Chains A and B, each alone.
Chain A
Amino acid sequence: MSQISSSSKKGVFSATVLANRQIGQRFHRLRLEFSADGARAFAQFKPGQFTQVDLSSAALPPEQDTPADLLDASRRELLLRRPFSFADVTAEGDKTFAELLYCVVGPATLRMTTLSSGDRVSIIGPLGNGFRILGDKKTALLVVGGMGAPPLQHLAKTLTSEHAEIEVVAFAGAKAASELPFEGRLDEISQQLGFSLPEFTKYGINSIVATDDGSAGYRGLVTDRLQQWLDEKSGLTPDSVIIYSCGPEAMLAKVAEIARDKGIDCQVSMERRMACGIGLCQSCAVECRVDDSSQTTYKLCCEDGPVFDGREVVFV
């Protein structure tokens, strides 16, 4: 086997923490550096691919720093690795840097908050299939629901740097402003001008924000904004548009339905509980339609996904 193909395959790699920064009530960004083998493997990391991170040896935060609603969960021991995508990946020479954007929800992500500069973590990757960028598209719509942001931030970068001809618009929704994992300027003027999410603005991408309670952007569901936007752009030919989405499954189901009704291609990034992430255990089943028949089969989120065609998934 040649040097090149063997260095880009998946494996277990060690990454060094460069920074771990809190960006919101429950959101943090972990900056990682891979060197040597890991740098080579992860330089090829595609938006929408993911990793399996071992957090079992990271310390828990002190009890007084643990959110009250996670105190019970913090007592649980960690056995399995946890799946995470990256919000950004940059290769510079023989080093590769990655940004992991995470939300603190349980024992593993609680431990992640105590990682600090110089700590090492074991990471398996790159795993799964990322978003597919199709050459015949002129418009790409990124639809983010809450913690679905990381792979779409990464995709925004790849689209604008490698496919400048594609116009990109980002939609981001959550229950409330505090549940949007962005370092956003959520003042009214920025929102009206589409500048509220610097994570997208820095790539020249306008964003449309919606929250259920109206605490940022439009009041209501992000999928309603998407529908409205598409209705208003009646001049677009459906064939030239693609929707990329990541977020809660109910939202993905709605996005896929809108895309289907409009005859637009749609790729969704799915989440499942994963024991292995590498096709060993079959825990991560996603029910999919078999062609256009009424039959279904289970595909593996980790190996066949996590990105699926919106038309094939039978959402739960």
Chain B
Amino acid sequence: MSERVDLSVDFAGLRLANPVFTASGTCGYADELGDFMDVNCLGGFTTKSITLKPRKGNPTPRIVETDAGMLNAIGLANIGLERFIEEKLPVLERMTPAVFVNVAGETIGEYVAVAERLATEQAVAGIELNISCPNVEKGGISFGTEPAQVREITAAVKKAAANRLLMVKLSPSVTDIAAIARAAVESGADALSLINTFTAMVVDIETRRPVLANRTGGLSGPAIKPIAVHLVNKVYREVTKDTGTPILGMGGIRTASDAIEFILAGASAVAIGTWSFIDPGCAAKIVEGLRSYCAAKDIANISKLVGSLEAGRNLAH
């Protein structure tokens, strides 16, 4: 039966071999994972955030472990658009997963410049817009926390890269994530990805200072999974179920069971982040786990599961 399971999904018109991605910033530029799994078994791949100019990133410590999670403040360290296109894109081009290049910037102009350039590259299936960065022109407030700014940046990037899929990545550190999701979809987002990390802090009680050089960092890992499932479900119910916009769900996924929770809650595809650090081959295992689950449940096509959460009480517990 398991050979007959169809794991392929339609993702905003793109046919993916299966719904499993690796998450931005947790999988290098793909070649690093090659020793641990066949990267071609993935449905999709999202790169580290790319900016117009190279960025050195923050001083260390850049990470600290927390219970069932970790904080990171890498500071968008990346090699910049030109070197990315020259050195990394050719590697990605040879792979079968759909490549989404994650784009970040401090001004709308920067986002637009990067998106315009990427849209001319054959290897790029889509752009993942990281709007959790501070907008320097608007006094540093994050692009992703105000619906008006989300509309402006989404529309501008959509126009600059009209021939590529635009996926907007949402921050959970907002009052109403559905309002942000709606703003993105109404301004041209073809897909949404959620969630990015939660802003958090760990204190060293000996030195009375935050552990991270950046003071705060983003919380990821198993600790955030139940919140992420809830937020995916909220955005699905309140926004994307009606518009048909696919969601790339993520946050703390370790196993196929975790991935299925996201899919039932409304995600069309899922991304594996932090867990790749502990088990760099886990994304491949999750693809196989999804296949076994579908086989055991007689589900011919995994896309039937998307958003199929039942109404009513759960009497199994």
A residues lining the B interface (CB < 8 Å): 9-12, 54, 56, 76-81, 124, 272-273, 275-276, 278-287, 296-298, 303, 316
Contact of A281 among B60, B61, B63 (CB under 8 A): B63
Residue contact B77 to A282, C-beta cutoff 8 Å: yes
Contact of B276 among A11, A280, A287 (CB under 8 A): A280
Candidate in A10, A283, A297 with the most chain B CB atoms within 10 angstroms:
A283
A76 to B67 CA separation, bound complex (whole angstroms)? 6
Residues of B within 8 A of A77 (CB): 67-68
Residue contact A11 to B25, C-beta cutoff 8 Å: no
Contact of B70 among A10, A80, A272, A279 (CB under 8 A): A80
Contact of B32 among A78, A80, A280, A285 (CB under 8 A): A280
> At the interface, is chain A mostly helix, strand, loop or mixed?
loop
Residue contact A280 to B28, C-beta cutoff 8 Å: yes
CB-CB under 8 A for A12 and B28, given A273-B64, A282-B62: no
A201 to B36 CA separation, bound complex (whole angstroms)? 40
Residue contact A124 to B280, C-beta cutoff 8 Å: yes
Contact of B27 among A280, A285, A298 (CB under 8 A): A280
A286 to B57 CA separation, bound complex (whole angstroms)? 11
CB-CB under 8 A for A81 and B28, given A11-B35, A273-B63, A283-B74: no
Residue contact A12 to B48, C-beta cutoff 8 Å: no
Residues of A within 8 A of B230 (CB): none
A272 to B74 CA separation, bound complex (whole angstroms)? 13
Residue contact B280 to A278, C-beta cutoff 8 Å: yes
Shortest Cβ distance from residue B182 to the other chain A in the assembled complex, whole angstroms:
32
Residue contact A282 to B57, C-beta cutoff 8 Å: yes
CB-CB under 8 A for A79 and B221, given A275-B72, A280-B276, A316-B60: yes
Residues of A within 8 A of B4 (CB): none
B208-224 CB contacts (< 8 Å) to partner A: 221-222
Shortest Cβ distance from residue B247 to the other chain A in the assembled complex, whole angstroms:
24
Residue contact A281 to B25, C-beta cutoff 8 Å: yes
**Closest partner residue, chain A, to B221 (CB atom):** A79
Interface check B26, CB cutoff 8 A: yes
A177 to B74 CA separation, bound complex (whole angstroms)? 38
Residue contact B28 to A279, C-beta cutoff 8 Å: yes
Residue contact B278 to A54, C-beta cutoff 8 Å: yes
Residue contact B62 to A273, C-beta cutoff 8 Å: yes
